[in-house]
Amino acid sequence: MAERIRARLLIAVWLGQLVSLVGSSLTGFVLGVWVYQRTGSVTQFSLIFLASSLPAVLVAPFAGVIADRWDRRRVMLLSDLGAAIGTAALALLAANDSLAVWHIYLATALSAASSTVHQVSYQAMTPALVGKTHLARFNGLMQVTRAAQIAAPLVAGVLVVTIGIGGVLAVDLGTFAVASLTLLLVRLPAEATRPAARRTREPVLTEAAAGWHYLRAHTGLWQLMVLFGAYNFLFGFAGVLVQPLILSFASADTLGLLMFAGGAGLFAGSVVMTAWGGPARRIHAVFGGLALGGVALVLHSLTPSAWLIAVVAPLFLFTLPIVNSSTMTLIQTKTEPAVLGRVLAAARVVGDASIPVAYLLAGPLADQVFEPLMRPDGALAGTAGAVIGTGDGRGTALVFAVTGTLMVLLVAAAWSRRSLRAVDDLPDALEPAEPAEAAEAATPEPVETPEPVRD
């Protein structure tokens, strides 16, 4: 009974956060289109993605220390406030017709840093509220927020015409208020919001390093995060280039519809994982999702057709909740509660550090290398061009073909690592007891990590 009550409390918080994320997604889509239409540059467009990912990686180690030191609800409230400040600044600039591209980069970076602290705290308190039995399903439910983020452009396209960019930013500010009010009203138990066992505090960098040491001592978890980092690198190329790919042969209105279709695929994958929870051996879900996603990316490149994207984009995004929720559940169940915030932060750095690199490379590679190669008179016009066509956007399409192929090869390389295949066999740190009992069982002694599993 207690487990169900706590799960309902967390769902109430989740609904408030969902509203806020939808608002932020509306803003992100509108600002991205604004930059691309005014500059016509994939590189400048991709810098928005860089601004949203690089600060997150830099802030993550400190976010883990914060999540393991202080009240997590207060941390989430302060994080929301930081993101709202950046959005409010953009709204004022837009109202005065003074908005510039660099303003968007700066506000995006502030929002990304705030969101990282928020998410690490959120994920660290989840196991204590949900318990081991329902954790995988709740992680699947968490992926619904990403579906809403991807589907938001359909609404954003309507709003930007009716109320303008300033109106969209105002809506976003309203959603921040909803999320904060929910956090204030819902009474979450102290054992979830406050780190269970207070220990003698060490210097911040020393505490942050504990997350790294824990991952390195558990070889399977470390290899899982390296795999996730390689996956995110390839996914980063697709994420930053899919909108330019679509805009190379379709209108902004069609882009919104196709983004909505992709969100539907992500939503379907989230529903499946929420109802199912994944296989008993979660690493199999990770491998299977990666392989299917790679095939879907290759299919993006076949022809400049909105109908093709409407099929393969949902297929690719269907795999995202499978990979993400299975990976998160493995980290949460195999990590001692006393160090969970810092391990989640370290895992985020390992898994996400490659994303800014992908965002930084994607635009220049598409603009300066692949697009020239795929012109009607380009070097690959008679080879790759004979398969996927030549002209505007076909170089970007070739990036998708290469990226998808590499993703499939990545699965083959990962399967060869015995410790990674056996990551499900690591001892569970999260017991199947009531969440309150699990919190009470945490002790203030330093966490002792078992001997690492080696190949």
pLDDT in tens, 270-328: 999 989 989 999 999 999 999 999 999 999 999 999 999 999 999 999 999 999 999 99
pLDDT greater than 60 at residue 139: yes
Q: What is the model's pLDDT at position 439?
A: 38
DSSP designation for 200: -
- Least confident range of 4-8, 16-20, 380-384: 4-8
The verdict on residue 447 lying in a domain is no
What does residue 199 show for φ and ψ, rounded to 5 degrees? -115, 175
Number of domains in the chain: 1
The verdict on residue 432 lying in a domain is no
List the one residue out of 235, 287, 237, 241 whose CA is nearest residue 266: 235
CB 65 within 8 A of CB 342: yes
Q: What is the model's pLDDT at position 438?
A: 39
- State how far the Cα of 76 lies from the Cα of 28, in Å rounded to an integer: 20
- Least confident range of 226-235, 351-360, 399-408: 351-360
Q: What is the model's pLDDT at position 279?
A: 92
Given the structure tokens 């830099």, which residue do they identify? 58
Q: What is the model's pLDDT at position 197?
A: 55
CB 101 within 8 A of CB 35: yes
The verdict on residue 454 lying in a domain is no
CB 240 within 8 A of CB 358: yes
Q: What is the model's pLDDT at position 98?
A: 85
Given the structure tokens 């399903």, which residue do they identify? 137
User: Positive or negative CA dihedral for 197, 328, 180, 15?
Assistant: negative
Buried b (16+ CB within 10 A) or exposed e, 248-276: bbbebebbbbbbbbbbbbbbbbbbbbbee
How crowded is residue 37: how many other Cβ atoms within 10 Å of its Cβ? 11
List the one residue out of 81, 82, 153 whose CA is nearest residue 113: 82
The verdict on residue 202 lying in a domain is no
Label residue 150 by pLDDT band (50, 70, 90).
Answer: low
> pTM to 2 decimals?
0.79
Q: How far is CA 308 from the centre of its chain?
A: 25
Given the structure tokens 């309150």, which residue do they identify? 436
| Residues whose CB falls within 8 Å of the CB of residue 278, separated by 6 or more in sequence, listed in order | 136, 140, 285, 322, 325, 326, 329
- Least confident range of 195-199, 203-207, 321-325, 443-447: 443-447
CA distance readout (Å), 259 to 48, 290, 309, 314, 369 = 18, 21, 9, 9, 26
Give the dihedral of Cα atoms 7, 9, 15, 18; nearest 10 deg.
-70
Amino acid at 109: A
The verdict on residue 282 lying in a domain is yes
Q: Which runs of E-coded beta strand occur in 111-215?
A: none
- State how far the Cα of 58 lies from the Cα of 46, in Å rounded to an integer: 19
Q: What is the model's pLDDT at position 221?
A: 96
What does residue 381 show for φ and ψ, rounded to 5 degrees? -60, -35
Q: What is the model's pLDDT at position 288?
A: 97
3-state secondary structure of 225: helix
The verdict on residue 451 lying in a domain is no
The verdict on residue 449 lying in a domain is no
* Domain that residue 189 falls in: 2-194+207-426
- State how far the Cα of 218 lies from the Cα of 452, in Å rounded to an integer: 5
Tokens of 166: 């300033």
CB 369 within 8 A of CB 402: no
The overall average pLDDT reported for the chain is: 85
The verdict on residue 75 lying in a domain is yes
CATH of the domain at 66: 1.20.1250.20
List the one residue out of 326, 59, 335 whose CA is nearest residue 211: 335
CB 304 within 8 A of CB 353: no
Q: How far is CA 90 from the centre of its chain?
A: 23
pLDDT digits (tens, 9 = 90+) for 337-359: 888 899 999 998 998 888 888 87
pLDDT digits (tens, 9 = 90+) for 98-123: 888 889 999 989 998 998 999 899 88
Buried b (16+ CB within 10 A) or exposed e, 53-81: bbbbbbbbbbbbbbbbbbbbbebbbbbbe
CB 313 within 8 A of CB 261: yes
CB 147 within 8 A of CB 320: no
